[in-house]
Amino acid sequence: AVRTLAEEVGVSSATAAKVYRELEESGVLEGRGRSGTFVSAADLPGAVLARAAEEFAERAAGSGFDAEEAVAAVRNAFRHLR
């Protein structure tokens, strides 16, 4: 439960609830109503990558860039990793 987690780690219930929501949004956790919250059986690395891509796309579009410009920026970033 959110309240139990908050007490165990020494944070507010609001903070614990926010963490649960963010983990559900990223695909790490799966809420099943009254049955509880479970670690998702989904592809965790894929879910994390998909969430990061969504956030990047939202920020790029919000800054006025189109998809081609955003993809070019990601390709350029990968080139610099090598």
pLDDT tens-digit profile of 11-56?
999 999 999 888 888 878 888 888 888 888 667 788 778 888 999 9
Residue that wins the pLDDT comparison between 65 and 2? 65
What is the per-residue pLDDT for 12?
95
Statement: the pTM of the whole predicted model exceeds 0.75: no
**Over 90: is that where the pLDDT of 77 sits?**
yes
**Cα–Cα distance, 7 to 39 (Å, whole number):** 20
Task: Please say whether the beta carbons of 14 and 23 come within 8 A.
Answer: no
Q: Residue 81 contacts by C-beta under 8 Å, 6 or more apart in sequence?
A: none
